[in-house]
């Protein structure tokens, strides 16, 4: 740390340097750091009449460093207020980082359960880290005190996590008066697994069982596990590392997936089906869920990917979060449409009359730097359709749908990164109707197809604020109905 960082608080450092951030790509309606770096969502919970959202944060540079917890609150899930940094490394058990964790209300207090990380000098046969699970508690939801009983969860005897001691990212929930926490880990032979612990008071925990474990091509480490309940169903959501590409699947460095199933609380085992990709785009990792007061399950993820180009680092900040998404059960699987609260961000509406398009058409009334595009497309008389977001010849993101095969392709070409890449998803073959909602921010695009049946997210770094939206029928005509582009409000006052 520099002398300045040692002498002032994280919040004072942020206040002193926030004005230095270049805002050319800084989002208007996605949570992002005021200055410095962010990654995994943390502590997502409803407490004291508002949502509390935290994330992994390093304020001192726009790159990963000893992790803090940034904090924002919202009464409606879309308009947010920044709060002081909630956690930072200041104890022996979290000396090198307050890693990912979760939040829960108990007895009128907000509890945060997080991983304390300590780096060790690597020695043969010895771990290179110590990771334990720790508590911090708040009465007002803003100021947190770390428990004198920390660490409250340590690696159970007889359970090996391999030579590197991966044991992190607790997610806590309550069931029939007892508390449960899942923690990501790996086995001695480097296979991803999730451990589940049980408690009556959040302070005294007992190891229950290995809740689930990787098989085949399911990764060497399971990070950021979440137990999700929605529409009468259950899912284990996690971010496996080390899954190998399978054709057009698993093309990102790391993945985020769900497994539908049923939790056996007596045994501590989650009986589940196979991996299902949560977001088929380039940039989605470490999602975290919470329950809304009306019983819905809502998820926010990290809109970035490890070891990828991040041009905004040159501007003094790095990375952002997705918009909130709901979890629902439809057609025997989990789908993730945009959270219904997002409609509260809508301002001016630019409506396009129903039309039939036979050639590449620039939708001039929708050429805004930020906003929400909504449209229904009838592909009966076409072989497919493409939707392009361009900002000059060298900066384009395109969504392409082939009707006969059902193949969906998201491609991006960026002058800022110098790359052209593609990701893929699959609609039912022969699907003639396509419903689109696209959230366009200064440096990101999130595509929701058919009300969340498919979601594809990507970062995007145009050199200019001038955007052009182009719709291109593929060999035929496309009928567009219910076409509208909404300008959106800023989420921070």
The residues that are catalytic are 40
Q: Is the peptide bond before 172 cis (omega within 30 degrees of 0)?
A: no
Q: Which long-range contacts (CB under 8 A, 24 or more apart) does 143-147 make?
A: 143/84, 144/86, 144/87, 144/110, 144/112, 146/87, 146/91, 147/203
CA angle, residues 120, 121, 125, in degrees to nearest 5: 95
How many C-beta neighbours within 10 Å does residue 402 have? 17
Which residue, chain included where needed, has tokens 């944060």? Answer: 57
Task: Determine if residue 164 is left, alpha or beta; phi over 0 gives left, psi from -120 to 50 gives alpha, anything else beta.
Answer: alpha
State whether residue 353 is helix, strand or coil.
Answer: coil
301 close to 321: Cβ distance less than 8 angstroms: yes
33 close to 59: Cβ distance less than 8 angstroms: yes
**343's tokens:** 């409609």
Alpha-carbon dihedral 456, 459, 461, 466, rounded to 10 degrees? 40
State whether residue 420 is helix, strand or coil.
Answer: strand
Alpha carbon distances (Å) from 343 to 4, 55, 78, 207: 42, 24, 9, 43
What are the φ and ψ backbone dihedral angles of 23, each rounded to 5 degrees? -95, 15
How distant is the alpha carbon of residue 437 from its chain centre? 18
Closest by CA to 131, choosing from 86, 189, 67, 87, is 67
Q: Give one DSSP letter per residue of 249-276, joined into a string.
A: B--SSB--EEEEEEEETTTTEEEE---E
């Amino acid at each position: 740390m520099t002398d300045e960082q040692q002498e002032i608080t994280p919040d004072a450092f942020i206040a002193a340097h926030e004005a230095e951030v270049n805002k050319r790509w800084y989002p208007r309606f996605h949570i992002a750091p005021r200055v410095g770096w962010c990654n995994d969502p943390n502590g997502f919970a409803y407490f004291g009449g508002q949502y509390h959202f935290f994330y992994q944060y390093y304020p001192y540079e726009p790159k990963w460093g000893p992790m803090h917890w940034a904090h924002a609150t919202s009464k409606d899930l879309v308009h947010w207020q920044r709060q002081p940094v909630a956690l930072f490394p200041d104890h022996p058990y979290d000396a090198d980082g307050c890693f990912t964790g979760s939040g829960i209300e108990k007895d009128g207090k907000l509890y945060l359960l997080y991983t304390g990380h300590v780096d060790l000098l690597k020695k043969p046969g010895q771990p290179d880290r110590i990771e334990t699970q720790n508590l911090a508690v708040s009465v007002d939801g803003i100021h947190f005190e770390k428990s004198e009983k920390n660490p409250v969860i340590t690696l159970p005897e007889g359970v090996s996590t391999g030579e590197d001691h991966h044991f992190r990212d607790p997610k806590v929930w309550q069931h029939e008066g007892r508390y449960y926490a899942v923690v990501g880990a790996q086995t001695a032979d480097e296979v991803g697994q999730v451990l589940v612990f049980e408690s009556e008071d959040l302070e005294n925990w007992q190891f229950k069982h290995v809740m689930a474990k990787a098989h085949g091509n399911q990764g060497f480490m399971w990070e950021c596990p979440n137990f999700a309940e929605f529409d009468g169903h259950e899912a284990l959501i996690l971010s496996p590392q080390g899954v190998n590409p399978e054709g057009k699947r698993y093309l990102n460095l790391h993945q985020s997936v769900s497994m539908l199933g049923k939790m056996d609380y007596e045994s501590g085992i989650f009986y589940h089906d196979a991996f299902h990709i949560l977001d088929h785009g380039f940039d989605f990792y470490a999602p975290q869920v919470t329950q809304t007061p009306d019983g819905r399950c809502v998820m926010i993820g990290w809109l970035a990917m490890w070891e990828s180009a991040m041009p905004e680092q040159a501007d003094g900040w790095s990375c952002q979060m997705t918009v909130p998404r709901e979890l629902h059960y439809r057609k025997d699987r989990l789908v993730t449409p945009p959270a219904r609260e997002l409609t509260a961000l809508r301002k001016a509406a630019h409506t396009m009359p129903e039309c039939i398009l036979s050639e590449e058409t620039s939708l001039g009334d929708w050429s805004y730097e930020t906003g929400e595009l909504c449209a229904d497309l009838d592909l009966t008389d076409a072989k497919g359709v493409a939707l392009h977001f361009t900002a000059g010849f060298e900066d384009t993101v395109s969504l392409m749908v082939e009707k006969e095969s059902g193949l969906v392709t998201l491609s991006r070409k960026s002058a800022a990164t110098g790359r052209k890449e593609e990701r893929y998803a699959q609609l039912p073959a022969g699907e003639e109707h396509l419903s689109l909602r696209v959230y366009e921010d200064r440096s990101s695009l999130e595509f929701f197809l058919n009300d969340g049946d498919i979601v594809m997210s990507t970062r995007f770094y145009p050199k200019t604020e001038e955007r052009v939206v182009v719709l291109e029928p593929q060999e035929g005509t496309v009928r567009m109905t219910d076409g509208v582009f909404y300008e959106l409000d800023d989420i921070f006052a």
